Amino acid sequence: MKFFYTIFNYILLVILFSCSGNKGNSEPAEPEQLNQTAAVTESKEGENLYLKYCMACHQTNGSGVPGMYPPLTNSPIVNSGKKEDFIEILLNGLKGPIEVHGKKYNQQMPSHNFLSDNELALIINYVAKSFENNAPEVTPSDVKDLRNTSSK
Protein backbone atom coordinates (compact mmCIF):
# COMPACT_ATOMS: atom_id res chain seq x y z
CA MET A 1 0.00 0.00 0.00
CA LYS A 2 2.79 2.45 0.94
CA PHE A 3 4.35 1.75 -2.42
CA PHE A 4 1.25 3.00 -4.22
CA TYR A 5 1.21 6.19 -2.19
CA THR A 6 4.82 6.88 -3.16
CA ILE A 7 4.01 6.34 -6.84
CA PHE A 8 0.93 8.52 -6.50
CA ASN A 9 2.92 11.36 -4.91
CA TYR A 10 5.55 11.05 -7.58
CA ILE A 11 2.96 11.41 -10.35
CA LEU A 12 1.46 14.39 -8.53
CA LEU A 13 4.85 16.10 -8.41
CA VAL A 14 5.44 15.49 -12.10
CA ILE A 15 2.04 17.00 -12.93
CA LEU A 16 2.71 20.04 -10.72
CA PHE A 17 6.08 20.62 -12.32
CA SER A 18 4.84 20.36 -15.85
CA CYS A 19 2.06 22.88 -15.11
CA SER A 20 4.27 25.49 -13.51
CA GLY A 21 6.76 25.11 -16.35
CA ASN A 22 4.30 26.79 -18.71
CA LYS A 23 4.20 30.06 -16.82
CA GLY A 24 7.18 31.68 -18.50
CA ASN A 25 7.55 35.36 -19.41
CA SER A 26 7.39 34.41 -23.04
CA GLU A 27 3.65 33.69 -22.81
CA PRO A 28 1.54 35.81 -25.15
CA ALA A 29 -0.31 38.71 -23.48
CA GLU A 30 -3.64 37.84 -21.87
CA PRO A 31 -6.69 38.89 -23.94
CA GLU A 32 -7.63 41.39 -21.20
CA GLN A 33 -4.28 43.11 -21.51
CA LEU A 34 -4.71 43.37 -25.26
CA ASN A 35 -8.21 44.80 -24.80
CA GLN A 36 -6.90 47.38 -22.37
CA THR A 37 -4.21 48.48 -24.79
CA ALA A 38 -6.83 48.79 -27.53
CA ALA A 39 -9.07 50.84 -25.22
CA VAL A 40 -6.23 53.25 -24.41
CA THR A 41 -5.40 53.69 -28.11
CA GLU A 42 -9.08 54.26 -28.94
CA SER A 43 -9.53 56.85 -26.23
CA LYS A 44 -6.40 58.68 -27.46
CA GLU A 45 -7.81 58.67 -31.00
CA GLY A 46 -11.14 59.90 -29.63
CA GLU A 47 -9.41 62.68 -27.76
CA ASN A 48 -7.52 63.79 -30.88
CA LEU A 49 -10.73 63.84 -32.91
CA TYR A 50 -12.47 65.79 -30.14
CA LEU A 51 -9.67 68.36 -30.14
CA LYS A 52 -9.92 68.65 -33.91
CA TYR A 53 -13.71 68.87 -34.34
CA CYS A 54 -15.33 69.90 -31.04
CA MET A 55 -12.80 71.80 -28.95
CA ALA A 56 -13.15 75.09 -30.83
CA CYS A 57 -16.67 75.48 -29.42
CA HIS A 58 -16.90 73.18 -26.39
CA GLN A 59 -13.31 73.88 -25.19
CA THR A 60 -10.54 71.43 -24.29
CA ASN A 61 -12.03 70.64 -20.89
CA GLY A 62 -15.63 70.51 -22.15
CA SER A 63 -16.59 73.66 -20.24
CA GLY A 64 -18.20 75.34 -23.26
CA VAL A 65 -18.52 79.13 -23.47
CA PRO A 66 -21.18 80.84 -21.35
CA GLY A 67 -24.16 81.97 -23.40
CA MET A 68 -22.69 80.54 -26.61
CA TYR A 69 -21.66 76.90 -26.42
CA PRO A 70 -23.14 74.63 -23.74
CA PRO A 71 -20.78 72.61 -21.54
CA LEU A 72 -20.26 68.89 -22.09
CA THR A 73 -19.32 68.56 -18.42
CA ASN A 74 -21.69 66.22 -16.61
CA SER A 75 -24.03 66.71 -19.58
CA PRO A 76 -27.64 65.54 -19.12
CA ILE A 77 -27.84 64.79 -22.86
CA VAL A 78 -24.62 62.76 -22.93
CA ASN A 79 -25.66 60.86 -19.79
CA SER A 80 -29.32 60.47 -20.75
CA GLY A 81 -28.82 56.71 -21.07
CA LYS A 82 -30.22 56.85 -24.61
CA LYS A 83 -27.25 56.63 -26.94
CA GLU A 84 -29.38 57.92 -29.84
CA ASP A 85 -29.57 61.40 -28.29
CA PHE A 86 -25.86 62.08 -28.58
CA ILE A 87 -25.43 60.27 -31.92
CA GLU A 88 -28.29 62.25 -33.50
CA ILE A 89 -26.86 65.61 -32.39
CA LEU A 90 -23.61 64.78 -34.15
CA LEU A 91 -25.35 63.48 -37.29
CA ASN A 92 -27.95 66.24 -37.58
CA GLY A 93 -26.53 69.15 -35.62
CA LEU A 94 -28.68 70.99 -33.09
CA LYS A 95 -30.50 74.29 -33.08
CA GLY A 96 -33.16 76.04 -31.11
CA PRO A 97 -33.43 76.80 -27.42
CA ILE A 98 -31.98 74.28 -24.97
CA GLU A 99 -31.12 74.47 -21.30
CA VAL A 100 -28.01 72.89 -19.80
CA HIS A 101 -27.36 73.16 -16.05
CA GLY A 102 -29.95 75.89 -15.70
CA LYS A 103 -28.47 78.08 -18.45
CA LYS A 104 -30.25 78.73 -21.73
CA TYR A 105 -28.63 78.44 -25.14
CA ASN A 106 -30.17 79.29 -28.47
CA GLN A 107 -27.45 78.82 -31.03
CA GLN A 108 -26.76 76.37 -33.80
CA MET A 109 -24.41 73.44 -33.79
CA PRO A 110 -23.42 72.26 -37.28
CA SER A 111 -23.90 68.64 -38.36
CA HIS A 112 -20.83 66.44 -38.18
CA ASN A 113 -22.13 63.79 -40.56
CA PHE A 114 -19.03 64.24 -42.72
CA LEU A 115 -17.17 62.14 -40.13
CA SER A 116 -17.15 58.34 -40.50
CA ASP A 117 -19.18 56.00 -38.26
CA ASN A 118 -15.96 54.97 -36.59
CA GLU A 119 -14.77 58.55 -36.01
CA LEU A 120 -18.11 59.57 -34.50
CA ALA A 121 -18.13 56.50 -32.23
CA LEU A 122 -14.56 57.32 -31.08
CA ILE A 123 -15.54 60.93 -30.27
CA ILE A 124 -18.72 59.87 -28.45
CA ASN A 125 -16.87 57.24 -26.42
CA TYR A 126 -14.21 59.77 -25.48
CA VAL A 127 -16.78 62.34 -24.31
CA ALA A 128 -18.83 59.59 -22.63
CA LYS A 129 -15.96 58.87 -20.24
CA SER A 130 -14.51 62.39 -19.92
CA PHE A 131 -15.64 65.69 -18.37
CA GLU A 132 -17.36 63.96 -15.41
CA ASN A 133 -19.61 61.98 -17.76
CA ASN A 134 -20.35 58.31 -17.42
CA ALA A 135 -22.38 57.26 -20.42
CA PRO A 136 -22.63 53.88 -22.17
CA GLU A 137 -20.27 53.21 -25.07
CA VAL A 138 -21.52 53.18 -28.65
CA THR A 139 -20.26 51.16 -31.60
CA PRO A 140 -19.71 52.33 -35.19
CA SER A 141 -22.73 50.23 -36.19
CA ASP A 142 -24.94 52.14 -33.69
CA VAL A 143 -23.95 55.28 -35.59
CA LYS A 144 -24.49 53.60 -38.93
CA ASP A 145 -28.03 52.51 -38.00
CA LEU A 146 -29.05 56.06 -37.11
CA ARG A 147 -27.30 57.56 -40.12
CA ASN A 148 -29.44 55.37 -42.35
CA THR A 149 -32.73 56.32 -40.66
CA SER A 150 -31.80 59.98 -40.30
CA SER A 151 -34.14 62.18 -42.35
CA LYS A 152 -31.63 65.01 -42.76
Which residues of the chain form contacts with ligand HEC (CB under 6 A)? 53-54, 56-58, 69-72, 75, 77-78, 86, 89-90, 94-96, 98, 100, 105-110, 112, 123, 127
- Smaller CB distance to ligand HEC: residue 112 or 145? 112
Q: Answer yes or no: are the C-beta atoms of 66 and 103 closer than 8 Å.
A: yes
Cβ proximity to ligand HEC, 34 vs 56, nearer residue: 56
Is the torsion defined by CA of 95, 98, 100, 104 positive or negative? positive
Could you tell me the smallest distance in angstroms from the CB atom of residue 40 to ligand HEC?
20
What minimum distance in Å lies between the beta carbon of 71 and ligand HEC? 6
Encode burial over 82-101: b for 16+ CB neighbours within 10 A, e otherwise. Answer: ebeebbbbbbbebeeeeebe
